[in-house]
Copies of this chain bind each other. A is one copy, B any other.
Amino acid sequence: MTSKPTQAGPAVPGAVWLREPRPARHAPALTRERIVTAAVAVLDGSGEAGLSMRRLAETLDVHATSLYWHVANRDELLDLALDAVFGEIDLPAAHAAAWRDDVAAFMGGLRAALLAHPWSAALAGSRPLIGPNALARSEFVYTALAGAGFDGPDLSAAAAAVSHHVIAAAATETAWRHGDPATARRALNDHLRRSAAHYPTLAAHAPSLRNDWEDHFDRAAAFLLDGLAAHGGHT
**Footprint of B on A, CB under 8 Å?**
12-18, 121-122, 125-128, 130, 132, 135-136, 138-139, 142-143, 146, 152-158, 160-161, 163-165, 167-169, 171-172, 175-176, 178-180, 183-188, 190-192, 195, 198-202, 205-206, 208-209, 212, 215-216, 219-220, 222-228, 230-231
Contacts and interface: CB of A to CB of B under 8 A. Distances in A.
Instruction: Count this chain's copies in the assembly.
Output: 2
Q: Majority SS of interface residues in chain A?
A: helix
B183 A12 contact: yes
A157 B205 contact: no
A74 to B, nearest CB: 11
Contact of A187 (B15, B125, B153, B190): B15
Given A164-B220, A201-B146, A224-B161, A209 B125 contact: no
B161 A164 contact: no
| Chain B CB within 10 A, most for which of A128, A155, A216 | A128
A179 B128 CA distance: 12
A125 B157 CA distance: 20
A164 B157 contact: no
6 contacts: A12-B183, A13-B184, A135-B199, A143-B201, A156-B205, A164-B164
B142 A17 contact: no
A189 B30 CA distance: 30
Contacts of A199: 135-136, 138-139
A168 B157 CA distance: 13
A205 B155 contact: yes
Given A135-B191, A187-B14, A202-B138, A152 B230 contact: no
Contacts of A152: 205, 208
A200 B138 CA distance: 11
B18 A192 contact: no
Nearest to A161: B220
A8 to B, nearest CB: 15
